[in-house]
Structure 1
């Protein structure tokens, strides 16, 4: 027992948090233990109320192979986390501040988020949250405190598909009608979605999620929610929790929340735009304008993101479907460009008060893992800052020209990521190996499938 207690990592939540929560919520009888895997999928188990304090006191064993699963939940032996590792247990510990009620459950349940550690208390290298924590620590050792905020684009869909198996937009709860036309920024669509929107805001408040603006986006049934900026780790936690909240509430309102990057051909894809800045120890924004011009530190960070974008694309676009999002005049960047107040570029400097200046990385899709995205964005920023790199001239019009600086497709970006020393350093060598093994296995799954389109095109012709 003493050995177990000595192995408690300093990052683990204090047992006083659990004691206070149990006292405040006598109605909660069970808890979801949630770990986010490399594909951004929530995995874990449900435990009874009486088990919670022991988990906060001593952690909970989970197999390391939980981080070696593909999107279908199957083991990928090439990760080195399954049979070659003896399917060995690690120990999961609660993340501070993550113990919250689940407002959609009846009878009431709670949730606690977990991070995985080795039995000796060191971070389990394949846990994506630790990759982000390591990049935060690196920047803090340089005197910078990273601030992040994520935007979340998603589709609300009818749970019933069309006769040919395709998705179809939701029926708006108050009218029973499907949205027609794009109606970007439409207020009527939001008004007719009011019961769901109200549930989202009430649920976010119950879980302490800093959810702000909701927007009707650039396709029927597509919406956007923004999260208030904050500490980099907490920002990624909030994004992961918000996706879980949206999925659960959509189900209970007869809809499906989809976080595919491109659920419809010919309609807008869904991004995970990352807003980033750096503060000093007193909380002052180091990206704030200097003498009415962009701060040199901000431009160095932009340059680092542009330089590393080619090698980072597997993190930003991790699945086959992710690559359908990138096309000309689609608001998804196709070139490593930057600009001020320009939504066609990969790295945008939004308009706004000079004191609140920050950058926005626009390449990541909503199907990507927020911890891996955050880690890669911070690593790219840091590389540019340390080198005092110059981003070159900004793009003032639409960034339309195709570029050889980005991989052309999913397979090419897997090969690029495999060779990337930058990505190996950004994620950590072990996580880089596991992530690549998962992506190769996923690619092989698609490559071996004969699709309906292939049968149509080639069945009687060739």
Structure 2
């Protein structure tokens, strides 16, 4: 232990010296709470070694913060008592290209005795990744990040209500080259900043809604994928500010319009070989991949409370909007909640699955950890996949959907939270403290917006993510 601590100190000192040589003065240490808000403590760069050795103090009450900064309580967490320590992941320390003089690192949370905090979402994601590795399985995950960009009002006043006018800086059509031309400098700067920070961008392009764009990043280790999506969002936000723009990652920017998703892509491997490319198996899926995806599909109603954690999420989840609101899967079917992507034969990122329901209000560490837990339970229980669906389930009649066994996923946060509460596999994987804190936050969010109209929900949450 002493040798490891000494090595950490030495590495942290070397990092601090490198950051100082690069002109970095402050380091942002982030974690993501159960409402999906990225919270932060910042330290001077020269304090990095001390932070790596002793951590930075923070209250455990953040685990029961809601998206509007109210505080609820769970059986184990809440109130003013207690303290935790934030420890930066030195391997992920990154100089921020769009914030000169700043660096960033994700943090793990421990108690004052050095024991892992049972509600630390990043460590939950790591535990589930290690659980898969113990079974000889490797997960490669990646996110698609969607956002809407608007011009920032003069003087940056506080955001208004439901009638706040949104000034879109581009007027081009959905997916149109016009938007790229109109915001070419902005998109170039987003791509360049991500590249400088070591983020491998696969695609960046306009999306469907007014002012909407999407960036897709390369898959990797699940914990790194969650780190990456946090860094992507904050980089997009920083570049937007430098261009006089505001970026919203909210599930519903304007009620009734297409919202922002944050689709999670998942590939399963054994001994470096994709289990999505078995030539003699149905749909190319090896038995373990079939069972894994079967477990994810079975758990989707409960997983919605993880991946769609806000009442605003359910404004986005509408039939026939490519949001995947029915509990079904399909081969290259963008209306299915679980889409199997076959990919070209020589495509290294081909052969994986996409969960289309999730959005950026989700804590990405919870999202990757819960999906792995559901998939591993599917393998343990020999879960199967029903026949794949083709076409849009939303245009089928109620009787035809029932005949095919297609059911609607939860349409409210309350319904999704009820399913999560009853999910024994997710409860076991998350543990009592984390599971209880997530449910407490979901109940508080639903209660807060219980009497709100759709427009008011969208306006209240528009700039929270």
The TM-score bracket by the shorter chain reads 0.7 to 0.9
**Structure 1 portions without partners, runs of 5+:** 172-177, 455-462
- Cα 1:451–1:257 change in 2 (3 A) is closer
Task: State the partner residue of 2:87.
Answer: 93
Secondary structure of 1:14's counterpart equals helix
2:57 aligned with 1:61: yes
- Cα 1:385–1:78 change in 2 (3 A) is closer
CA shift digits 1:172-231 (9 cap, x unpaired): xxxxxx414xx2321221122122112212211232222221011112111110010111
Superposition RMSD in Å: 2.6
2:325 aligned with 1:334: yes
Secondary structure of 2:274's counterpart equals coil
What pairs up with 1:292-311 in 2 under 5 angstroms?
Answer: 293=282, 294-295=284-285, 296-311=287-302
Q: 1:351 aligns with which of 342, 357, 360?
A: 342
Q: What is the CA–CA distance in structure 1 between the aligned matches of 2:162 and 2:434, rounded to whole Å? A: 39
How many residues align? The count is 436
- Cα 1:142–1:247 change in 2 (3 A) is same
- Cα 1:343–1:61 change in 2 (3 A) is same
Task: State the partner residue of 1:205.
Answer: 195
Q: 1:245 aligns with which of 223, 230, 235?
A: 235
Q: 1:406 aligns with which of 401, 406, 409?
A: 409
Q: 2:41 aligns with which of 45, 52, 66?
A: 45
- Cα 1:59–1:405 change in 2 (3 A) is same
Q: What is the CA–CA distance in structure 2 between the aligned matches of 1:103 and 1:21, rounded to whole Å? A: 17
Structure 1 range deviating more: 42-51 or 362-371: 42-51
2:443 aligned with 1:440: yes
Instruction: Specify which structure has the bigger relative contact order, considering alpha-carbon pairs within 8 angstroms and separated by 6 or more residues.
Output: 2
Q: What is the CA–CA distance in structure 2 between the aligned matches of 1:450 and 1:285, rounded to whole Å? A: 46
Task: State the partner residue of 1:72.
Answer: 68
Task: State the partner residue of 1:126.
Answer: 119
Task: State the partner residue of 1:179.
Answer: 171
Task: State the partner residue of 1:258.
Answer: 248
- Cα 1:388–1:415 change in 2 (3 A) is closer
What pairs up with 1:20-39 in 2 under 5 angstroms?
Answer: 20-25=14-19, 26=21, 27-39=23-35
Q: What is the CA–CA distance in structure 1 between the aligned matches of 2:70 and 2:160, rounded to whole Å? A: 29
- Cα 1:163–1:278 change in 2 (3 A) is closer
TM score, norm. by length of structure 1: 0.87
Task: State the partner residue of 2:168.
Answer: 170
Q: What is the CA–CA distance in structure 1 between the aligned matches of 2:191 and 2:455, rounded to whole Å? A: 41
Q: CA deviation at 1:436?
A: 0.9
Q: What is the CA–CA distance in structure 1 between the aligned matches of 2:443 and 2:176, rounded to whole Å? A: 41
Q: CA deviation at 1:114?
A: 0.9
Contact conserved, 1:100 with 1:206, CA < 8 A, in 2? no
Task: State the partner residue of 2:460.
Answer: none
Task: State the partner residue of 2:182.
Answer: 192
**Structure 2 portions without partners, runs of 5+:** 154-158, 399-405, 458-465
